[in-house]
Each structure stands twice: as structure tokens, then as C-alpha cells.
């Protein structure tokens, strides 16, 4: 019987992080195999950004990532930057545009990003095995032995790039955490993030607004996002809510400012200029950013303020304005992994080198991408983390192999990295 296929690197997971890492290591001359149980690679890339992939953000500041160690992501994000990935995208002639808040999307299709990654892998002679499930991983005599549905393979380096469990129907699993535990690495309790929040039955009034969206500022403790909130039949969604959901914990309240952007005292100003008008009219017609009618009706109903504004004392209107600026919701939960764009938590950064992504106590084992306890904001931050962590791991592996030799021929992708390091 033939022995296991031997490689320098086996990458588990052909998402953004795994493919990027494989390409870098392959182009540095390493024999690399990427294994994925899905029938095609990069499935989350293909559906991301409404099919146009929000592939990075112009400002991927480390403070826009959540992690038990907020400093961990700095090193990788600094070594392989958004500018580096943009240069790669441009080298492939992929047209892109900024949609909002520094979020960059392909003009045409997310498939262009997958094709780019596969082309980079091909340049590095990377073997990509899809529809290949992993039965077992063992570590003996300095090698990782991987038993797969397409036969056994072994390598002195193994990269965990199987992501997190969000959207299981796309083939997402918590396998990274199982493997981490097998190797004695701690896992920070994973939880759904960038996910719609659900409301209790007593907030039914707001659930009846399903489909209504409004500009808001949503706050959880000191964290705030000024974007749209969308009411759904289960609760709250929209970019502001998805963002805050990553910070929200069970039992916490969130506060929504429905008058965001308006100066303090706006209701009293309307009372002075149009004393006959009602609060409902003020919210839907008089104030510069008009609230949707159904939302305004629900808010006014809850506030119990009917009739002309001139019939209400200034103090009552000030109190109503204060409530409209910090409307408190106590979500009952989230819509879970089925609807979560990412998973927060994951393999503890305390176990990994931030410079190489290698496990501190398991030489040759690397963890990258969403499997790690690093979670970005909505808006291209998570793909940037996938690229950055993938590149630094790929380079570190190449470096460890080539340490002894004199010159490593720089590939175009590496030249980008070096120019910015
Ligand atoms: P990713 O999950 O992409 O890849 C993991 C791979 O491992 C998959 O191919 C999977 O099949 C494979 N795998 C899992 N378990 C396995 C097992 N047991 N055996 C073998 N293979 C296994 N981010 C962003 O920055 N901009 C955006 O526009 C979007 N949009 C977006 C939309 C939607 C609907 C979702 C769900 C997510 C996004 N994201 C996003 C988040 C982004 O997709 C995510 O953070 C990255 O894809 C993570 O990349 P990874 O390579 O780490 O994991």
C-alpha cells in the first residue's frame, strides 16, 4: 500500500485565510496541500457583500477588532495591510469601488476574488483538494498525519483555517475548536456575532414594524455605531444592530438614538416654530431627518404624547426627547449561528504568536482567520484579517524552511508585503 502523501504544509480549510496562506507558502517554494470538505473553495467569499465581496476596509484599525487581547491583531494587520491587498486586486485588473465607511467592493463579482486566490495558489503549485473530509489528525515524530477521505497525508506543518461555525448550512463547522482542544489550546467561548437581535413578546409593538428601517445611533456601554436599524419580525437588524451585536451579551440592554444628527432641544424648537403640530407630525415632517411614519407612530404611542406640542410642558417634551435619544431595548437573544455573519471568540490568542500565528507550545501548528479569537467589525474587516493572518503564517512557514538557505526568491505578492513591512 502507498504511504501518505508528503507535503511541507497542509492547510485545513480553503476559505480566504487558508487559500492566502497556501499561496504565500507555495510561492516561496513549499509543497502545500489545502483540504476542504466543501465541493468548492471560498464559499463565504462568493456570497459575501451581496455577491460583490467587501474584500477589505480602508481603515482596518486594530481597535475595530474584538478579541480577549485587543493588541493581538496589530502585528499581522500591520505586516499585510489593506493597501497590500488592494495592490493584489489591482494586479489582477479587478475593478473596485468604495461603497461607504471605507468598505471596498468588487465592481463586478466576488468570484473574481476567489479566482485571484486560486491563481495565486496555482502560481505556487498548491494542491487544492475539495470534497475532502478529514477523519483524523495526529501529531507524531514532528509530523502531522491527516487521514482524509482522499487518503492519508503528512507534513511537518499544519494550518488550521477552517473558520467558525456561522452559517452551518454552508459547511461551516466548529472543527477548528475540536482540533485546538486536541492539541491543548484554549478556546475563548465562541458566540454568534454580526447577527440580528431578537426581542421579547412585550416588545411586540416594535416587531410589528417589520421591514421599517431608520437612521440611528445604537449604543452598548461606550461602543456606538451610527448606521441604519432595521425592524424585523423577530426583532432588530440592519448594520447598526449587526455591529453592536458583537459587543452585546445576554441580559444587556442597548440604547437606540432615533434623533441622531439632530441638535439637542429639537422638539422644543418645533414647539416654538409650529406650536399646533403634534409629536407625530414633528417626527415625520418637521424635523430634518424624517422618521418613517410607522416607526414614529409606534414611538409616540409608547410615549403617550398626543395633541399639539403647545399643550405639553417643556419639561415633558425634553423628557420625551431624552427617551427618543436613548430608547432602551433588552434583546432576548440573537438569531444564532444560522444568521451570524461571523463567530466571535475562538482559539485563544494567548496560545499563538501574533507575529507568525504559530501555536506557542505546538511547533509547526498554525491557526489563522476566523478560527482565531479575533473578530472584525462589519465592513471588510474580517476578510482583511483572513488575508493578513494568512500571509503572516505563510511567510513564517517559508522563513522557517528557508532560514538555512541564503536567498528566497521574492514573488510579486511577497514584494508587496516587504514594501510595507
Ligand atoms: P471560512 O469560513 O471562509 O473558510 C473555512 C473553510 O473551511 C470553508 O471553506 C469550510 O468549508 C472549511 N471547513 C470547515 N470545517 C471543515 C471541516 N471539518 N473539514 C474540512 N473543511 C472544513 N467579511 C468581510 O470582510 N466582508 C464581507 O463582505 C463579508 N460578508 C459576509 C457575508 C456572509 C453571508 C457571511 C457568512 C460572512 C461574511 N463575511 C464578510 C465574513 C467572512 O466571510 C469570514 O470572516 C471569512 O470568510 C473567514 O475566512 P476563513 O478563511 O477564516 O474561514
Task: Put the strands of the sheet holding 134-140 in their side by side order.
Answer: 5-6, 151-155, 143-148, 134-140
Give me the torsion for CA of 383, 386, 389, 393, rounded to 10°.
-140
Tens digits of residue pLDDT in 198-252: 999 888 788 889 999 999 999 999 999 999 999 999 999 999 999 999 999 999 9
Indicate the SS3 state at residue 375: strand
Beta bridge partners of 157: 9
pLDDT of residue 315: 97
> Is the dihedral angle over the CA atoms 168, 170, 173, 176 positive or is it negative?
negative
Among residues 386, 369, 373, which one has the least CA distance to residue 163?
A: 369
Among residues 71, 116, 104, 12, which one has the least CA distance to residue 381?
A: 104
- Whether the CB-CB separation of 176 and 367 falls below 8 Å is answered with yes
Between the alpha carbon of residue 421 and those of residues 83, 294, 330, 395, 408, the distances in Å are 12, 53, 45, 12, 16
Which grid coordinates are listed for 358? 504559530
CB atoms within 10 A of CB 208: 12
For residue 376, give every residue at least 6 positions away whose Cβ sits within 8 Å of its Cβ, in sequence order, or none.
60, 64, 65, 66, 342, 382, 384, 385
Residue tagged 417643556 (cell numbers): 314
**N residues, the chain:** 421
Segments in the chain below pLDDT 70? 1, 404-421
Among 56, 146, 162, residue to substitute to test ligand 1 (most atoms within 8 Å of Cβ): 162
pLDDT of residue 413: 58
Determine how β-strand 32-35 pairs with β-strand 9-12.
parallel
Tens digits of residue pLDDT in 359-389: 999 999 999 999 999 999 999 999 999 999 9
Query: Measured between alpha carbons, how far is 398 from 409 in angstroms, rounded to an integer?
Result: 11
Q: Which residue's C-alpha comes closest to atom 18 of ligand 1?
A: 175
Ligand 1, closest atom to CA 13?
A: 7
Å from CA of 382 to ligand 1 middle: 9
Among 10, 11, 12, 13, residue to substitute to test ligand 1 (most atoms within 8 Å of Cβ): 13
Å from CA of 346 to ligand 1 middle: 14
Pocket-forming residues, ligand 1, beta carbon under 6 Å: 12-18, 36-38, 43-44, 47-49, 53-54, 133-134, 161-163, 166-167, 171-173, 175, 341-342, 369-371, 380-383, 386
CB atoms within 10 A of CB 68: 15
pLDDT of residue 405: 58
- Whether the CB-CB separation of 18 and 368 falls below 8 Å is answered with yes
Residue tagged 505556487 (cell numbers): 124
pLDDT of residue 287: 87
- Provide the 8-state DSSP code for 311: G
Between the alpha carbon of residue 305 and those of residues 200, 263, 271, 351, the distances in Å are 24, 21, 13, 56
Amino acid at each position: 500500500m502507498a504511504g501518505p502523501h508528503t507535503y511541507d504544509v497542509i492547510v485545513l480549510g480553503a476559505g480566504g485565510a487558508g487559500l492566502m496562506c497556501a499561496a504565500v507558502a507555495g510561492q516561496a517554494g513549499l509543497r502545500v496541500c489545502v483540504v476542504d470538505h466543501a465541493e468548492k473553495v471560498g464559499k463565504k467569499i462568493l456570497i459575501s457583500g451581496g455577491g460583490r465581496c467587501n474584500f477589505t476596509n480602508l481603515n482596518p484599525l486594530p481597535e475595530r477588532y474584538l478579541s480577549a487581547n485587543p493588541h493581538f491583531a496589530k502585528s499581522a494587520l500591520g505586516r499585510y495591510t489593506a493597501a497590500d491587498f488592494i495592490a493584489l486586486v489591482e494586479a489582477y485588473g479587478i475593478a473596485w469601488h468604495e461603497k461607504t465607511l471605507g468598505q471596498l467592493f468588487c465592481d463586478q463579482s466576488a468570484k473574481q476574488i476567489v479566482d485571484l486566490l486560486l491563481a495565486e495558489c496555482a502560481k505556487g503549485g498548491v494542491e487544492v483538494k475539495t470534497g475532502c473530509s478529514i477523519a483524523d489528525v495526529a501529531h507524531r515524530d514532528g509530523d502531522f498525519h491527516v487521514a482524509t477521505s482522499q487518503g492519508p497525508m503528512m507534513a511537518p506543518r499544519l494550518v488550521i483555517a477552517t473558520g467558525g461555525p456561522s452559517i452551518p448550512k454552508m459547511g461551516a463547522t466548529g472543527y477548528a475548536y475540536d482540533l485546538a482542544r486536541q492539541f491543548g489550546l484554549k478556546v475563548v467561548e465562541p458566540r454568534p456575532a454580526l447577527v440580528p437581535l431578537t426581542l421579547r413578546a412585550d416588545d411586540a409593538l416594535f416587531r410589528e414594524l417589520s421591514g421599517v428601517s431608520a437612521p440611528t445611533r445604537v449604543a452598548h456601554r461606550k461602543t456606538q455605531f451610527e448606521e441604519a436599524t432595521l425592524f424585523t419580525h423577530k426583532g432588530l437588524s440592519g448594520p447598526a444592530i449587526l455591529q453592536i451585536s458583537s459587543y452585546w451579551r445576554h441580559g444587556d440592554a442597548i440604547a437606540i438614538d432615533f434623533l441622531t444628527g439632530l441638535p439637542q432641544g429639537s422638539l422644543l424648537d418645533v414647539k416654538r416654530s409650529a406650536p399646533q403640530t403634534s409629536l407625530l407630525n414633528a417626527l415625520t415632517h418637521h424635523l430634518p431627518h424624517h422618521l418613517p411614519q410607522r416607526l414614529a407612530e409606534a414611538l409616540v404611542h409608547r410615549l403617550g404624547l398626543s395633541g399639539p406640542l403647545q399643550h405639553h410642558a417643556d419639561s415633558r417634551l425634553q423628557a420625551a426627547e431624552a427617551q427618543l435619544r436613548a430608547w432602551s431595548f433588552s434583546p432576548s437573544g440573537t438569531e444564532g449561528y444560522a444568521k451570524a455573519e461571523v463567530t466571535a471568540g475562538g482559539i485563544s490568542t494567548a496560545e499563538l504568536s501574533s507575529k507568525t500565528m504559530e501555536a506557542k507550545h505546538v511547533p509547526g501548528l498554525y491557526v489563522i482567520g476566523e478560527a482565531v479569537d479575533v473578530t472584525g467589525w462589519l465592513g471588510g474587516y474580517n476578510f482583511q484579517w483572513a488575508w493578513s493572518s494568512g500571509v503572516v503564517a505563510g511567510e513564517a512557514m517559508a522563513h522557517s524552511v528557508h532560514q538555512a538557505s541564503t536567498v528566497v526568491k521574492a514573488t510579486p505578492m511577497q514584494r508587496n508585503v516587504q514594501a510595507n513591512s
